[in-house]
Amino acid sequence: MSTPSETHKRKTPTGKLYAIADIHVAFAYNQEAWAGLSPHPGDGLILCGDIGETVEHLRLAFSTATRCFDTVWWCPGNHELYTLPTGSSADFRGEEKYQQCVEVARSYDVLTPEDDFVVWGGQGGPTVIAPIFTLYDYTFKPDDVAVENAVAWAKEQNIEATDEFLLHPDPYSSRQEWCSELVKKFEAKLEAAQAQFPSLPFVIANHWPLRKDLATLKFIPRFVIWCGTALTEDWHRRFNARAVISGHLHIRRTDWKDGCRFEEVSLGYPRQWKHCAEMGLEVNDLLREVLPGPEPPENGEAPVQWRRYG
């Protein structure tokens, strides 16, 4: 029997680059939708986190993605990092769970944050594709709330992330400490890539938004503390990003800041994109084109575009 890497060999894309996040294939509805992914010969795809919770979910998603796209990138979301009480990942916590996911991705020749950044030579290139992993540190909070009180502040409105029970920071003492180390690691990696490719723009892909002002949650505003870190606020400027891709919010939107395009590319839970399905849209219609993408607005800024239908 052939191994996944023998069956799915990565090619160098010459076409377009797409992205999608939060496909949550643990849900049968989403799993069936993902199985309908169409072939995209010559194109690339970024899977921007929250594929699922288990090794089996990753294998299902990667096998389909690599059949349909020439090159696939992946960065982890919080759901990939969950430790469930039973199953293939029951004994894996924190950094070890992340590394388990990385190994599964590599078995399908999927590029991860642990691999060298690749220069995109397809449409819209050359551009450095930089998948990263930063987690969160509760600094997406009001100024008058101390970081150590942020979770209690959220609980005042009965908001508490499942992460508090299933996402363990081992071997670090806290999620904040793990986030701090990840930020240092990927800051250094981005700096090194910028020194190597000083004239090239970047596409940065991270499950969590890089900026607090892009984490707008109308119905559960205090969930924002689990949505990123203030330490990445200026990374789009520092690292010459032409686009920043994220998920996590389950609210598709496009923003322009300082000439950089920010794309939230979530699919979401079945109930959250059911209205799209009812209009005849499928997962193929909800893939977001990253490159070549549109030209920036004249002054580099534009009102938010809420992309309810993709």
DSSP string, 148-161: GGHHHHHHTTT---
pLDDT in tens, 73-114: 999 999 999 999 888 888 899 999 999 999 999 999 999 999
Q: What is the dihedral of CA 197, 203, 204, 209, to 10 degrees?
A: 150
Cβ-proximal residues to 214 (8 Å cutoff; 6+ apart), any chain: 246, 253, 255, 262, 264
> What residue numbers bound the domain in which 97 lies?
4-306
> What pLDDT score does 2 carry?
36
DSSP state of 266: B
Angle between the N-to-C axes of helices 28-35 and 270-278, in degrees from 0 to 180, rounded to the nearest 10: 50
| The residue type at 126 | P
Length of the chain: 310
- Strand order across the beta sheet in which 288-291 lies: 69-74, 40-47, 17-20, 288-291
pLDDT in tens, 10-44: 788 899 999 999 999 999 999 999 999 999 999 99
Task: Provide the 3-class DSSP secondary structure of residue 298.
Answer: coil
> What pLDDT score does 7 carry?
52
Q: How many CA atoms lie within 13 A of 80 on its CB side?
A: 30
> What pLDDT score does 89 carry?
81
C-alpha distance from residue 35 to each of 31, 51, 146, 256 (Å):
6, 13, 45, 33
Task: Provide the 3-class DSSP secondary structure of residue 172.
Answer: coil
Q: Tell me the percentage of the chain whose pLDDT exceeds 70.
A: 97
- Give bridge partners of residue 241 from the DSSP assignment: 202
262: tokens are 């920010």
Task: Look up the pTM and report it.
Answer: 0.96
d(CA 33, CA 36): 5
- Strand order across the beta sheet in which 202-205 lies: 118-120, 127-131, 202-205, 241-246, 260-264, 253-257, 302-306
Number of independent structural domains in the chain: 1
d(CA 132, CA 76): 8
| The residue type at 156 | E
pLDDT in tens, 260-285: 999 999 999 999 999 999 999 999 99
Mean pLDDT to the nearest integer, 129-137: 98
CB distance 235 to 253 below 8 Å: no
List the CATH number of the domain containing 249. 3.60.21.10
